[in-house]
Amino acid sequence: MYSKIKLDYEEKKKLNNELTLSQYFENEKYLERDWYGEFSVVKKHLKPIMKNLKKDSTILILGAGLSTLPVDIYKMGYKNIVCTDISQSLCEMMKEYSIEVLGENSIQYILQDMRNMESTFAENSFDIVIDKATLDSLYMEEDAESYEEGIVDKGIENVRTVQHQVIRILKPKRKWVVFSQYDYSLEPETEEESKDDLISFDTHNCSKISITHDDEESLFVYVLTK
């Protein structure tokens, strides 16, 4: 999808050499490009969590996509933001976009699968990690064969893998904030599941998990503390 968007932009730029990425995105097709709503939806939850952070605190945004979230957080005064995404085309576009709207050396975009970040980020690197919708896409990855055999399915495995990665790169006592449309506590469907106390997040892999449900937005906000 992102490769097609980049190609479309490049084709339009051939017709209009003065076209910028910010102009390209400022149209009806992309104005509502943020999954789960605009920045105002998450700001009310992020602000109290981030209030004790310094303006140079290290912030990681996972699977940033086309979201304006990194730019909006930057405009709040936080200047040390790193974004990851699994699409090279996306990273190239958003790096150019951030330079246009914020200037050089503003936001970093790194090609990265958030399930495997060992070679990219060292332990205790970040003051806060933020995810909006990316974990949900991994959670919904189907593995029918494992499900039928009673094995923990691929979606739960993905969530726990990412959690392990995030806890590793978070500084002690720092937080991972997840905005989600899903209830990761997983209501047990069978007696076997209730015995196993299945939950997507590994409760032993963090010191605390708090859950808020935003009824107005039908959004779950998970805050995991290292």
What domains lie within the chain, and their CATH numbers? 2-225 (3.40.50.150)
Are 141 and 69 a contacting pair, CB within 8 Å?
no
Nearest CA to 108 out of 61, 54, 166 is that of 61
- Mean pLDDT is lowest, of 150-164, 171-185, 204-218, for 150-164
pLDDT tens digits for 34-46? 889 889 999 999 9
Name every residue whose Cβ is closer than 8 Å to that of residue 112 and which is 6 or more positions away in sequence.
84, 85, 86, 120
- Angstrom distance (rounded) from CA 155 to CA 142: 7
Residue 132 forms beta bridges with which residues? Answer: 179
Confidence band for 197, pLDDT divided at 50, 70 and 90: low
Residue 224 forms beta bridges with which residues? Answer: 176, 209
Element spanning 158, H or E: helix 154-169
